[in-house]
Amino acid sequence: MFKTSFNRILERKATKADLPYVASLSFEDLEKPKEVIVGKPIQCQKCGGVLTDPSSVKKDPKLGTHFKCAFCGAINVVDPKDLPTHLIDDVDFIIEEAMEIKTTKPELTGDNIVAVIDVSGSMAGGKIEAVKRSLTETIKDLKVNAPQSRFGLIAFESSVYLINFKGVSALTVSGDDLYSQEKVAERFSHAKYDFEPVEKTANKWIETVSKLRDMDMTALGPGLLGGYTLLKMRGGGRLLLLTDGLANTGFGTLESAGATGKNFYKEAAGSCNLGNIIVDVVGVREQSAESQLALKTLGNLALETGGDIYYVTMEEIEKTFADIRGKGYIARNVEVKMFTPPVLKLVDATGTASETLKPEEPIRLGGVTADREVYFEMESAKEIKEDEVPIQAQIQYIDAEGKKHLRVVSKKVKKAKNEEEYAKTYEPEISGAMKVQQAGRAAYQGEEEKAKEIIAGYQQQMAGAPMAPPKAASVSKALTGELKELMSRKRSSEDEAAVGSAKQMRKTKKELFE
């Protein structure tokens, strides 16, 4: 679950020519800790690092029982009865039982799903029919496999409609109201809406979906805000956003070159993340011509919340909905923090939507599936005098039952006797995977040349190392394939390139090298 590219660490200060220090976190074993403790851990009052090694605890006549934090050096006084009895390098603290919303509002158990669907005029014909078939299959699947889930439907064109399972518009937002976020949020928050379990409403929903029809323009922003408001009031859930056109009505319009519309979606992505809402974005393109959907902007909704971005033809809509239905989230509201001592500085994190790394703040991943991986790059700030360096990863999350966990995984990395030992024990697949994610991030931001330099630069680092690490040749070969993919993407449309780069931002070590 928690691995490092460096099984030994150089005594001297590392240089840019050295193979980088990279740590990886994968989530496939999130539910398989070595030890489970119900209760809160002992944490450093200054930085939040968790005490996992009882041998670091000392007794002093004046201070009493205390420990010096391995990461920030702060002295923490502790109650002896709370101390761990043995070294624990992988422990799962259940810090809260099922969340309050699960116990005080039992009718909200199960997942909440809101489909926010474009029914503008350009969706006429085969597109709207494919969407109707896909929604019908989604409802049937929920009825069989997740009968307690609630399903909601919002259709948007030049107006926004909140539709219930009886086929009645419980709310219509149009005219000037579409240009006010406050009015849209207020109207959706006060809407009387039946969010009944699918096992009771499936047949009615199927009948309702069959009557969807195309209409006028594209009020995407108000439709998205409506879906967010519905889910936020119900403790979160999943939001499926489908569109085939550029937002051009109400707030969040993307037709003009201004930043106002883009800022709305950036803020909405952060709000969805904090509100326990996972967003999948489906852009539908024309078969004969490339549509302009601003998926680089809309894609942030998915990247920040743990969802996915799709750019598909009419014929691919049904398969895409099936893929979305098949995704199993093992954790939600996931927050990750990495702890290192001052001699090892965090400089980057990938596989996340965060553009900047702030050590004092957690990285919020939204929902995670078992195949998700994130990476952290570190640099040694000075010569390392200690015989070993501690590193700790903390993952806070909510499980499927609503319990809040803090998973703590710690390891100590010993100093290398020399550069040869460092290279011989190095695992280039871990840092190679991070370089691919870094390149994907650069390409998503429109910096294709920088993306190319990141991958090619790492290949040169491996080739120039005093002693080639194991698997260097196979890693370099895989990276050459990624370079080719980057170059081919230059000929793609902006939307297609954005989706390809977004996928590269989340590529895993297993995808690349196994």
355 located within any domain: no
* Residue 168 belongs to some domain of the structure: yes
Q: Averaged over 73-93, what is the pLDDT? A: 93
- Residue identified by tokens 């070993």 is 388
Query: DSSP character for 185?
Result: H
Decide: pTM greater than 0.85. yes
Burial environment of residue 66 by CB neighbours within 10 A (0 to 12, 13 to 18, 19 or more): middle
> Which H helix or E strand runs over 228?
helix 220-233
Any idea what DSSP says for residue 13? P
For residues 320 and 299, what is the distance between their CA atoms, to the nearest angstrom?
Answer: 16
Looking at residue 356, what is its pLDDT?
A: 66
Q: Identify whether the C-beta of residue 429 lies closer than 8 Å to the C-beta of residue 512.
A: yes
Q: Is the pLDDT of residue 419 over 90?
A: no
**Residue 187 forms part of a structural domain:** yes
Q: Which residue has the higher pLDDT, 288 or 471?
A: 471
Q: How confident is the model at residue 100 (pLDDT cuts 50, 70, 90)?
A: very low
What residues are paired with 156 via a beta bridge?
A: 118, 160
**Mean pLDDT across the chain:** 91
Give dist(CA 297, CA 152) in Å, integer. 24
DSSP lists the bridge partners of residue 410 as: 392
The mean pLDDT value for 38-66 works out to 93
Q: What pLDDT, on a 0 to 100 scale, did the predictor assign at position 417?
A: 86
Question: How far is it, in rounded angstroms, from Cα 118 to Cα 156?
Answer: 5
What pLDDT band is residue 258 in, cutting at 50, 70 and 90? low
Residue 27: inside a domain: no
Q: How many angstroms separate the CA atoms of 78 and 63, rounded?
A: 10
For residue 384, how many other CB atoms are within 10 A of its CB?
21
Average pLDDT over residues 320-340: 94
Ordered DSSP codes for 274-333: HTTEEEEEEEE--SSS-----HHHHHHHHHHHT--EEEE-GGGHHHHHHHHHH--EEEEE
CA 394 from chain center: how many Å?
16
Rounded to whole angstroms, the Cα distance separating 359 from 309 reads 28
- Residue 196 forms part of a structural domain: yes
- In angstroms, the Cα distances linking 266 to 72, 227, 271, 304, 440 are 34, 16, 9, 9, 19
- The separation between CA 445 and the C-alpha centre of its own chain, rounded to angstroms, equals 17
The length of the chain, given as a count of residues? 514
Mean pLDDT of 324-350: 94
Distance from C-alpha of 434 to C-alpha of 22, rounded to nearest angstrom: 8
Distance from C-alpha of 471 to C-alpha of 493, rounded to nearest angstrom: 35
DSSP character at residue 197:
B
At 288 the pLDDT is 65
CA–CA gap between residue 166 and residue 153 (Å, rounded) = 11
> What average pLDDT does range 120-128 have in this prediction?
92
Asked if residue 108 has pLDDT above 70, the reply is no
Give the containing element (helix H, strand E) for 365.
strand 363-369
Question: Does 404 reside within a domain?
Answer: no
Q: How far is CA 67 from the centre of its chain?
A: 35
| Alpha-carbon span 125 to 118, nearest angstrom | 13
| Beta strands 344-350; 404-415: pairing state | unpaired
Of the candidates 152, 151, 160, the residue with the CA atom closest to the CA atom of residue 119 = 160
Q: Examine the pLDDT at 89 and tell me if it is beyond 90.
A: yes
Domain count, the chain: 1
For residue 103, is pLDDT > 60? no
| pLDDT score, position 295 | 93
Most confident range, picked from 95-99, 491-495, 499-503: 499-503
Cα torsion at 504, 505, 507, 513 (round to 10°)? 80
Q: Is residue 31 part of a domain?
A: no
Provide, rounded to the nearest whole percent, the portion of the chain with pLDDT above 70.
95
Give me the residue label for tokens 């499980």: 399
How confident is the model over 361-410, as pLDDT tens digits?
899 999 999 999 999 999 998 899 999 999 999 999 999 888 999 999 99
**pLDDT above 50 for 104:** no
- What are the tens digits of pLDDT across the range 183-234? 999 999 999 998 899 999 999 999 999 999 988 889 999 999 999 999 999 9
Pairing of β 277-284 and β 237-243? parallel
Q: Are 469 and 424 in contact (CB under 8 A)?
A: yes
Q: Containing domain of residue 109, as a range?
A: 104-327
Cα 450 to Cα 349: distance, rounded to the nearest angstrom: 17
**CATH at 152:** 3.40.50.410
* Least confident among 6-15, 39-48, 464-473: 464-473
Q: Is residue 483 part of a domain?
A: no
Read off the pLDDT band of 110 (50, 70, 90). low
Average pLDDT over residues 235-255: 93
